[in-house]
Amino acid sequence: MRPLNTYYSIYNRQNLIRIIRQLHKEGHDLSWSGMRDGCSEGLAACQYHFGSWRRAVYAAGIPYTKVKRIRNWEWNKKRIQRSLRRIYRDGEPMNYNDFARRHWNLLHVALYHFGTWKDALAAIGVDHRRVMKHRQWNKDSVLNEIKQLRKKGMDLSHRAMSQAGRNDLLGAAQNHCGSWEKALESAGLDYAKIRKVKQWSREKIIRIIRQLHRQGKDVSWSGMHRLGQQDVVRSCPWHFGSWKKAIIAAGLDYDKIRKKAGGKAKWSIPLICKEIRLLHRQDIDLSYRSMGHSGHRSLLGAASYHVGSWKKAIAEAGLDYAKICKVQQWSREKIIRIIQELHRKRMDVSASGMHRHGHRAVVRACPWHFGNWRKAIAAAGLDYRKIRHQN
């Protein structure tokens, strides 16, 4: 008998039956295909505990014939219309995106038989404009929305608007005004004061390189990344063609800078420990992932070669790996607090929005503490359906 993994040990038969009943009560697609697309892990758990998905549905007291999908060739226009009317009477959202999430198979055959979703709704006497969730934009409404956001003191830079989940407004500005910059200017705002992206020029890049070099800083490619000057390096291909040409344009000897940066290539255990202690005094995150992202790959490689592993190198430097590495320790309370804080900042807290904002670790921690992201949102006191509809 194969050993239970972590996931299967969490979900026993009683737990799975309770979840299936809850999903059925909420109107989710409980067909095998629907579960495969929306919750493949739960499907696998049921396969393990019950033998098949059909048996798990029957064990939950639900007739499988009511949840299985009807084959495409069994549909006709009258049957589609009856199903659409029933769903409409039940008060479920009938806009395209929400309907696709809940009844993808029915949507698919409706499009096949009626041609468009608009025509399918018209066949049951429903005006598609009444069920649309997306706002209808024009140039005046875009400018009015920008002015309202300005009065509220919101950051109107393109990046901030995207992080706040206002891609609808950004897209409407692109369609009706030509660009976000032109939309802000049409609303009477100075885009140069609002934008937060730095404007680079050859002179500015050269000035920064010379200034850092005079301060004794490492201005090699990896050194600039360690100093947090990634933007300077990224702008160089456009203005110079490469970082080497930028260094030469600043009047510096590129080969000397490379040799100086490469002085740490001849690693030894004492030198590795000295570098680790120095980074620790600078309050640098010494977790393996963070060190790799911050341009210290040579130190990681040297630690693995000379000491055996990064963790052993930390111990060799006299430090406690568990205490100094800033790896997030998650709890239900911490996850809820982060969700509520982001929501108060008007940020998109849907699962996809959290990934876009760089909060993947929060989403990954949820299955262990809550079961899924939807339950985490509910535990934070928020309406999951409203969040999905808004984004």
Task: Count up the domains in the chain and report the number.
Answer: 6
Same domain, 258 and 270: no
- 295 pLDDT higher than 70: no
Q: What is the mean pLDDT of residues 360-375?
A: 80
Within a domain: 158: yes
pLDDT band at residue 71, thresholds of 50, 70 and 90? Answer: low
* More confidently predicted of 173 and 3: 173
Answer for the pair 109, 72: CB distance below 8 angstroms, yes or no: yes
Mean residue pLDDT across the chain: 80
Residue 273 sits in the same domain as residue 314: yes
Domain's final residue, options 67, 82, 113: 67
Instruction: Place 159 in a pLDDT band, splitting at 50, 70 and 90.
Output: confident
At 53-67, the pLDDT tens digits run: 888 888 888 888 777
Do 257 and 277 have their domain in common?
A: no
Q: Is residue 52 part of a domain?
A: yes
- Would you say residue 391 has pLDDT above 60? no
| 197, part of any domain | no
> Above 80 in pLDDT, residue 101?
no
Residue 349 located in a structural domain: yes
Phi, psi for 387 (deg, rounded to 5): -65, -40
Question: Which pLDDT belongs to residue 263?
Answer: 46
pLDDT attached to residue 133: 64
Q: Does residue 8 surpass a pLDDT of 50? A: no
User: Per this entry, what is the length of the chain?
Assistant: 391
Last residue of a domain, one of 300, 324, 348: 324
Give this prediction's pTM.
0.32
- Is position 113 within any domain? yes
Q: Contacts by 384-390 with C-beta closer than 8 Å and gap 24+?
A: 387/348, 387/349, 387/350, 388/98, 388/101, 388/350, 389/93, 389/98, 389/133, 390/165, 390/348
Considering the domain boundaries, does residue 220 fall inside one?
A: yes
Q: What pLDDT does 390 receive?
A: 62
55, part of any domain: yes
Task: For residue 73, name the pLDDT band (cuts at 50, 70, 90).
Answer: low
Range of the domain at 121: 72-131
Mean pLDDT computed over 263-276:
77
Same domain, 216 and 255: yes
SS3 letters across 81-148: HHHHHHHHHCCCCCCHHHHHHHCHHHHHHHHHHHCCHHHHHHHCCCCHHHHCCCCCCCHHHHHHHHHH
Identify whether residues 52 and 93 lie together within a single domain. no
Q: What is the predicted pLDDT for the residue at 138? A: 86
- Is residue 353 domain-shared with residue 386, that is, in the same domain? yes
pLDDT at 207: 92
Q: What pLDDT shows up at residue 6?
A: 38
**319 domain-assigned:** yes
Q: Mean per-residue pLDDT for 216-224?
A: 83
10 Å CB burial of residue 85 (0-12, 13-18, 19+) is middle
Q: Which residues, 6 or more positions from 132, have their beta carbon under 8 angstroms from its beta carbon?
A: 95
